[in-house]
């Protein structure tokens, strides 16, 4: 009998299939547009997109845009996460405050916050800070809700035990609440990265002079669909890189969690 | 010797707090005076639940006291009062003659029924944590934690996280964590109930060995009568809940040092077991009948 080719544990088979899927998608795209079965004017063509990306990097014209978007995204990500973490901890440890703030937070969260972009543009100008502000409002809530939940889920036994060991409120924060909330925070950070990119690109799209969103807006004005797609691909690539770095950090910080092959005791 | 089967024998209720303490009072590590704990009901209605009512009990310095009773009878509530984690609705708790008004009982360490190690810290960091909280320097605390690892038989497991240890090893770590602070009182809430019977006997032996070194006052809550008798100096039987209170106490005059597994076969052990079970049985049946309604 032949060994099964589609073994989910085989790295070669998995990676090979992935590459094959990607290659076929690109080939199909190329086939459809080069034969004019669909219009390359509306759908671009892979060779043109590739050409555009190479040109951007060779001429160096893309770096200022890339840099701007990355700075905006990272700032929004870091500030939003820090604020979400701080407010989440604060509210979770103040039951009264949490109950008072509850309807406001629900309202703010259900509000379509992208609509703030024009207001932020007025408040903070067309520079990077209006985009950062937009990104922060998006990232904040994702992190905030997760931290809030994470603190609520702290095991009461661990909490009582640590208090009995003599921890003061500050030490409880550092040794119990924060580490306990961390696994929740990291699961939210993966979402937060994508959302931070949304904030900067939409902000740039609505009014700016630099950034990938601005690049896409310009290309769209010229009906240059290849550049639009090239911009989208670049953004995807960088979002992926950031996501992987979060995963790496997560592995380091959450080393204490049972991973594959190690099971948690049911009585724990 | 005869076991005293008399409610709260020797510890009269309603002691006037203004009375100057007698010398023997200082030999009392813990003293509950008419402690009542009433909790608000789960529902919005004003129904309340009285877990323990009018408990007067004293724990002598250096005594190993076990509290037995049917499950869910409020034994843990008493321990939480002793730890200062909850405040009694009525009555007072005194620690070495001083009434505990607010805050936690700083003389006591607490070993919980469930695992209470911080899962994000290694075993040695967990044991050192209490020392760090008490202001010890990091390297000194870690050195002491490693000493304790050896003493509880966890040598070489210091760098492991709690989920990498077995249930018994986690209990050893918890014991080390509690004892590292060198408390004068150790509160234990069914600490070994989740362990298999062999590990349990090992841990009981280990506990007795550690206790014999410096004779801390121990309050040991359990629903296992054999465990209570084989470990303790005195066993207090609690009534079925709600409104639990001590109904009888027995002095355990078995000689020390004891072998927890072998002592269960002795004549005196069986006598004591029969006596205490006679009292406990009716309470267990009451509790069972109550639960079935």
Structure tokens at B113: 């029924």
The pTM assigned to this predicted structure is 0.76
Contact yes or no for B121 and A165 at CB 8 A: no
ipTM: 0.81
Q: CA A255, CA B49: separation in Å to the nearest integer?
A: 43
Q: What's the pLDDT score for residue A161?
A: 92
Q: CA A71, CA B123: separation in Å to the nearest integer?
A: 41
Does A10 touch chain B if contact means CB atoms closer than 8 Å? no
pLDDT digits (tens, 9 = 90+) for A73-99: 999 999 999 999 999 988 888 889 888
Ranges of residues in chain B with a pLDDT under 70 are 1-26, 42-46, 292-293
Does A266 touch chain B if contact means CB atoms closer than 8 Å? no
Ranges of residues in chain A with a pLDDT under 50 are 1, 260-268
Contact yes or no for B104 and A164 at CB 8 A: yes
**Residue appearing with tokens 């990272």:** A74
CA distance A264 to chain B (A): 6
Mutate to test the interface with A, among B104, B112, B120 (most CBs of A within 10 A): B120
What phi and psi values does residue B20 have, to the nearest 5 degrees? -60, 135
Residues of B in contact with A258 (CB under 8 A): 163-164
First to last CA, chain B: 41
Residues of B in contact with A160 (CB under 8 A): 83, 85, 110, 112, 116
Mutate to test the interface with B, among A150, A153, A155, A161 (most CBs of B within 10 A): A161
Q: CA B44, CA A224: separation in Å to the nearest integer?
A: 65
Structure tokens at B193: 């109930």
Contact status, residue A179 vs residue A151, Cβ threshold 8 Å: no
Q: What one-character-per-residue DSSP string does A122-181 give?
A: HHH-SSHHHHHHHHHHHHHHHHHHHHHHHHHTS-HHHHHHHHHTT--HHHHIIIIIHHHH
Q: What's the pLDDT score for residue A140?
A: 92
Q: What's the pLDDT score for residue A266?
A: 36
Q: What's the pLDDT score for residue B42?
A: 66
pLDDT digits (tens, 9 = 90+) for A116-153: 888 898 899 888 899 999 999 999 998 998 888 888 88
Between chain A and chain B, the number of residue pairs with CB atoms below 8 A apart is 82
**Residue appearing with tokens 């979060």:** A246
Residues of A in contact with B144 (CB under 8 A): none
The domain segmentation of chain A, as residue ranges, is 63-217
Long-range interactions of B21-24: CB distance < 8 A, separation 24+: B21/B97
Contact yes or no for A175 and B130 at CB 8 A: no
Q: What's the pLDDT score for residue B25?
A: 45
For residue B118, give the nearest of A175, A255, A268 by CB distance.
A175
Does A268 touch chain B if contact means CB atoms closer than 8 Å? yes
Give the total residue count for chain B: 293
CATH code of A63-217, in short, is 1.10.3720.10
Which domains does chain B carry? 1-9+27-73+85-103+223-293 (3.40.50)
Contact status, residue B75 vs residue B69, Cβ threshold 8 Å: yes
Burial string for B150-165 (b: 16+ CB within 10 Å, else e) reads ebbebeebbebbbbeb
Q: CA A186, CA A192: separation in Å to the nearest integer?
A: 9
């Amino acid at each position: 009998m032949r060994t099964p080719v589609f073994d989910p544990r085989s790295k070669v088979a998995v990676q090979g299939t992935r590459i094959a899927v990607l290659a076929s998608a690109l080939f199909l795209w190329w086939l459809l547009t080069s034969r004019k079965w669909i219009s390359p004017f509306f759908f671009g063509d892979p060779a043109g997109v590739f050409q555009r990306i190479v040109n951007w990097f060779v001429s160096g014209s893309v770096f200022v845009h890339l840099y701007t978007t990355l700075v905006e995204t990272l700032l929004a990500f870091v500030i939003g996460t820090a604020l979400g973490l701080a407010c989440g901890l604060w509210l979770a440890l103040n039951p009264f405050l949490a109950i008072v703030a509850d309807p406001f937070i629900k309202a703010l969260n259900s509000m379509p916050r992208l609509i703030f972009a024009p207001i932020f543009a007025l408040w903070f100008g067309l520079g990077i800070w209006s985009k950062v502000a937009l990104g922060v409002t998006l990232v904040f809530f994702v992190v905030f809700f997760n931290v809030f939940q994470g603190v609520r889920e702290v095991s009461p036994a661990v909490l009582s035990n640590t208090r009995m060991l003599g921890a003061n409120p500050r030490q409880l924060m550092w040794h119990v609440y924060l580490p306990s909330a961390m696994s929740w925070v990291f699961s939210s950070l993966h979402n937060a990265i994508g959302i931070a990119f949304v904030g900067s690109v939409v902000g740039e799209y609505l009014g700016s002079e630099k950034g990938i969103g601005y690049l896409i807006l310009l290309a769209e004005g010229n009906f240059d669909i290849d550049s639009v797609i090239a911009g989208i691909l670049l953004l995807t690539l960088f979002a992926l890189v950031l996501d992987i770095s979060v995963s790496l950090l997560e592995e380091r910080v959450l080393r204490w969690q049972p991973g594959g092959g190690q099971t948690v005791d049911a009585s724990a | 010797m005869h076991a005293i089967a008399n409610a709260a024998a020797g510890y009269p209720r309603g002691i006037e707090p203004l009375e100057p303490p007698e010398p023997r009072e200082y030999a009392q590590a813990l003293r509950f005076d008419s402690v009542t704990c009433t909790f608000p009901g789960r529902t919005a209605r004003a129904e309340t639940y009285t877990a323990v009512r009018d408990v007067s009990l004293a724990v002598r310095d250096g005594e190993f006291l076990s509290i037995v009773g049917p499950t869910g009878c409020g034994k843990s509530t008493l321990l939480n009062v002793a730890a200062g984690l909850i405040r009694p609705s009525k009555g007072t708790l005194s620690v070495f003659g001083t009434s505990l008004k607010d805050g936690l009982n700083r003389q006591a360490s607490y070993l919980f029924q469930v695992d209470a190690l911080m899962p994000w810290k290694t075993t040695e960091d967990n044991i050192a944590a209490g020392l760090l909280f008490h202001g010890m320097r990091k390297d000194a605390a870690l050195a002491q934690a490693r000493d304790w690892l050896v003493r509880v038989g966890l040598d070489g497991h210091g760098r492991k996280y709690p989920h990498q240890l077995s249930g018994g090893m986690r209990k050893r770590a918890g014991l080390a964590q509690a004892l590292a602070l060198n408390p004068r009182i150790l509160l234990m809430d069914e600490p070994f109930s989740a362990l298999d019977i062999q590990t349990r006997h090992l841990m009981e032996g280990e506990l007795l060995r550690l206790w014999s070194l410096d004779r801390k006052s121990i309050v040991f809550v359990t629903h296992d009568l054999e465990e209570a008798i084989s470990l303790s100096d005195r066993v207090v039987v609690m009534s079925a809940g709600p409104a639990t209170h001590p109904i009888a106490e027995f002095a355990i005059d078995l000689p020390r040092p004891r072998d927890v597994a072998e002592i269960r076969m002795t004549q005196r052990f069986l006598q004591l077991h029969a006596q205490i079970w006679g009292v406990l049985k009716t309470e267990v049946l009451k509790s069972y009948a109550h639960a079935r309604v």
